[in-house]
């Protein structure tokens, strides 16, 4: 039996079965069995809300959503430092912050997202027992709260733009863990950064059809 309900626009995919199908990948990424219920709840609400607002492409199948967004976000889980506060930029529908928050319940995530509709959805996830705070748009002065230990971003902006948007945080020697794809594109983005930029590029083992995935540490 195919775990995906045929008319997925009207009916909810069978997320438990779909996650069972990628169980080896979840285990490899460090996701314990106890965390899967939270992931199922998140996917259920994400899929339902996407029928009302555009959180991800409506042409995307449940399998692609899991592979391209959920598992891709969790690629950074084992590398995520044991910090207290993470600021996630351009959170959108919650990637990578919500999957990371579900697996790291002791870490608080500040979610920066400019869309009021997406912010409303993110705020509705608080009852999943997540330590999240929906902040809204990034401040114009490039500052972040002093409690922030690390900045994450995935499918957001080029590196130089991210650093400019958080320039006050960067001046305080703030740390960054940025999800990026091709190494050639990363090198191009780093070359566009003004001033001294010491970066460490960590190659990740891609999930599924992705050719290259990296974390860029600043």
- Token representation of residue 123: 């705020």
Query: Is residue 154 marked as binding?
Result: yes
Query: Residue 115 has which token pair?
Result: 């869309």
- Using DSSP, state whether 190 is helix, strand or coil: helix
The answer to the question of whether 133 is labelled as a binding residue is yes
Q: 117: part of which helix (H) or strand (E)? A: helix 116-124
90 marked as part of a ligand binding site: yes
Does 95 carry a binding-site annotation? yes
DSSP string, 64-84: HHIIIIIIHHHTTTTTS---S
Beta strand 200-204 pairing with 150-154? unpaired
Cα separations in angstroms, 89 against 70, 163, 194: 17, 11, 20
Burial 74-108 (b: 16+ CB within 10 A, else e): bbbbeebeeeebbbbbbbbbbbbbbbbbbbbeebb
Here the tokens at position 122 are: 């993110």
CA–CA dist 33, 11 (Å, integer): 25
> For residues 91 and 112, is the Cβ–Cβ distance under 8 A?
yes
- What residues are designated binding site for S-adenosyl-L-methionine? 90, 95, 113-115, 132-133, 154
- What residues are designated binding site? 90, 95, 113-115, 132-133, 154
């Amino acid at each position: 039996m195919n775990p995906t309900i045929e008319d997925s626009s009207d009916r909810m995919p069978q997320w438990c079965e779909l996650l069972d199908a990628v169980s080896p990948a979840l285990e490899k990424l460090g996701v314990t069995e106890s965390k899967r219920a939270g992931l199922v709840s998140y996917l259920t609400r994400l899929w339902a809300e996407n029928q009302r607002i555009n959180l991800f492409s409506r042409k995307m199948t449940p399998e692609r959503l899991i592979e391209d967004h959920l598992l891709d976000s969790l690629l950074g889980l084992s590398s995520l430092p044991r910090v207290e506060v993470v600021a996630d930029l351009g959170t959108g529908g919650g990637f990578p912050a919500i999957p990371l928050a579900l697996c790291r319940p002791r870490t608080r995530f500040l979610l920066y997202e400019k869309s009021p509709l997406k912010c409303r959805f993110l705020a509705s996830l608080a009852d999943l027992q997540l330590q999240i705070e929906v902040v809204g748009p990034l401040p114009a002065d490039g500052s972040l709260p002093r409690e922030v230990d690390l900045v994450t971003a995935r499918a957001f902006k080029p590196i130089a733009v991210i650093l400019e948007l958080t320039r006050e945080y960067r001046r305080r020697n703030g740390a960054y863990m940025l999800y990026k794809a091709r190494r050639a594109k990363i090198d191009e983005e780093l070359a566009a950064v003004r001033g001294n930029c010491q970066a460490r590029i960590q190659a990740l083992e891609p999930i599924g059809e992705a050719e290259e995935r990296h974390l860029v540490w600043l």
